[in-house]
Protein backbone atom coordinates (compact mmCIF):
# COMPACT_ATOMS: atom_id res chain seq x y z
CA UNK A 1 0.00 0.00 0.00
CA UNK A 2 1.18 3.51 -0.76
CA UNK A 3 2.30 5.86 1.94
CA UNK A 4 1.92 9.59 1.73
CA UNK A 5 4.98 11.73 1.16
CA UNK A 6 4.59 13.13 4.66
CA UNK A 7 4.65 9.66 6.22
CA UNK A 8 7.69 8.63 4.18
CA UNK A 9 9.50 11.83 5.18
CA UNK A 10 8.61 11.29 8.84
CA UNK A 11 9.84 7.70 8.66
CA UNK A 12 13.15 8.76 7.11
CA UNK A 13 13.59 11.49 9.72
CA UNK A 14 12.85 9.21 12.67
CA UNK A 15 15.17 6.53 11.33
CA UNK A 16 17.97 9.10 10.97
CA UNK A 17 17.83 9.99 14.68
CA UNK A 18 20.13 8.42 17.22
CA UNK A 19 18.18 5.66 18.94
CA UNK A 20 19.70 6.26 22.39
CA UNK A 21 16.55 7.81 23.84
CA UNK A 22 13.68 5.50 24.74
CA UNK A 23 11.12 7.77 23.06
CA UNK A 24 13.13 7.86 19.84
CA UNK A 25 13.54 4.07 19.83
CA UNK A 26 9.80 3.60 20.39
CA UNK A 27 8.93 6.05 17.59
CA UNK A 28 11.29 4.16 15.26
CA UNK A 29 9.69 0.83 16.21
CA UNK A 30 6.20 2.17 15.54
CA UNK A 31 7.01 3.85 12.21
CA UNK A 32 8.82 0.72 10.98
CA UNK A 33 6.11 -1.74 12.07
CA UNK A 34 4.74 -3.17 8.80
CA UNK A 35 1.64 -4.59 10.45
CA UNK A 36 0.77 -1.26 12.04
CA UNK A 37 1.37 0.57 8.75
CA UNK A 38 -0.97 -1.84 6.97
CA UNK A 39 -3.67 -1.31 9.60
CA UNK A 40 -3.37 2.48 9.33
CA UNK A 41 -3.58 2.25 5.54
CA UNK A 42 -6.68 0.05 5.84
CA UNK A 43 -8.33 2.56 8.17
CA UNK A 44 -7.38 5.45 5.93
CA UNK A 45 -8.74 3.77 2.81
CA UNK A 46 -11.98 2.47 4.27
CA UNK A 47 -13.05 4.67 7.14
CA UNK A 48 -12.60 8.03 5.44
CA UNK A 49 -15.89 7.23 3.71
CA UNK A 50 -17.76 7.66 7.00
CA UNK A 51 -17.79 11.50 6.98
CA UNK A 52 -19.01 11.43 3.37
CA UNK A 53 -21.86 9.11 4.31
CA UNK A 54 -22.76 11.20 7.37
CA UNK A 55 -22.82 14.35 5.25
CA UNK A 56 -25.09 12.65 2.72
CA UNK A 57 -27.42 11.47 5.48
CA UNK A 58 -27.56 14.95 7.00
CA UNK A 59 -29.10 16.23 3.78
CA UNK A 60 -32.39 14.62 4.85
CA UNK A 61 -32.69 12.59 1.70
CA UNK A 62 -35.61 10.24 1.18
CA UNK A 63 -35.47 7.19 3.45
CA UNK A 64 -34.82 4.76 0.59
CA UNK A 65 -31.89 6.87 -0.62
CA UNK A 66 -30.42 7.07 2.89
CA UNK A 67 -30.75 3.32 3.39
CA UNK A 68 -29.08 2.70 0.04
CA UNK A 69 -26.14 4.91 1.03
CA UNK A 70 -25.66 3.00 4.29
CA UNK A 71 -26.09 -0.35 2.56
CA UNK A 72 -23.48 0.55 -0.06
CA UNK A 73 -20.97 1.50 2.63
CA UNK A 74 -21.69 -1.72 4.47
CA UNK A 75 -21.12 -3.72 1.29
CA UNK A 76 -17.80 -1.99 0.63
CA UNK A 77 -16.65 -2.84 4.14
CA UNK A 78 -17.68 -6.47 3.79
CA UNK A 79 -15.79 -6.77 0.52
CA UNK A 80 -12.67 -4.89 1.61
CA UNK A 81 -12.28 -5.45 5.32
CA UNK A 82 -13.23 -9.07 5.58
CA UNK A 83 -11.70 -10.53 2.46
CA UNK A 84 -8.91 -13.03 3.05
CA UNK A 85 -5.43 -11.51 2.99
Q: How much is the pTM?
A: 0.45
- Give the residue from 33, 36, 34, 14 showing the smallest Cα distance to 25: 14
Q: What is the pLDDT of residues 45-84, one digit of tens each?
A: 777 788 888 888 899 889 999 899 989 888 887 877 666 6
Residue 53 is inside which H or E element, if any?
helix 49-58
Report d(CA 60, CA 62) in Å as an integer: 7
Amino acid sequence: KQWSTTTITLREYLNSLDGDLAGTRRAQEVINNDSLREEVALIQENFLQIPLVITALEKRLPLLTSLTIVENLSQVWKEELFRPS
